[in-house]
Amino acid sequence: MLFKIAVLASGGGTNLQSIIDSIDNGSLNCKIEMVIGSKEGIYALERAKIKGIKSYIISKEKYGNKTSDKILELTKGKVDLIVLAGYLSILEGNLLKEFKDKIINIHPSLIPSFCGDGFYGEKVHQAVIDYGAKVSGATVHFVNEEADAGPIIMQDTVKVMDDDDAKTLAKRVLEVEHTILP
């Protein structure tokens, strides 16, 4: 049986690409049924188009507090797992109930540090540097009702260098994300 997934993205889609590449090289046995973007014009949707993967746009601007319901409409009965690959909106409601322990997220820090509300993108890496942490990394975890609080599936680390800024640290952490998410 082929495992079917939906990938949700909000940006360039490099984590989506890591999943695509892992499927193409045979190290991941699944099929991306759909890509759901959080807004128009993100490169993740272009990556889906290039691979012939159905894609949809479900934006908070258009759907507001019904965003998770709309995602549930698209995914229910069609996928086995939802993968948040750089998806910046918080999921809620019936979607979390229907897909309990079947939604995973990648976060650019070692949860439980530097996570939760407001910790996304370069803000995470800047907080790591400001705190003086000596290691950072990425975490794959299950999604539940609290932001970045679901059970941890996998983590990997990177050393924080003395001359790091948020951009250089983010680049190294992203390489780890591309390895552990698939």
Instruction: Report whether 13 contacts 84 (CB < 8 A).
Output: no
| E-state strands within the chain | 3-9, 30-37, 54-57, 81-84, 103-107, 135-142, 152-159
**Of 153, 156, 155, whose CA–CA distance to 143 is shortest?**
153
- Counts for the chain of helices (H) and strands (E), in that order: 7, 7
User: Rounded distance, CA 145 to CA 121, Å?
Assistant: 21
Q: Which of 107, 125, 141, 178 is catalytic?
A: 107
Instruction: Report whether 5 contacts 83 (CB < 8 A).
Output: yes
Q: What are the tokens at 6? A: 């939906």
Angle at CA of residue 44, ends 72 and 101, nearest 5°:
35
**Residue 178 is among the residues annotated as catalytic for this protein:** no
H or E element, residue 88: none
Instruction: Report whether 129 contacts 165 (CB < 8 A).
Output: yes
Q: Which residues are catalytic?
A: 107
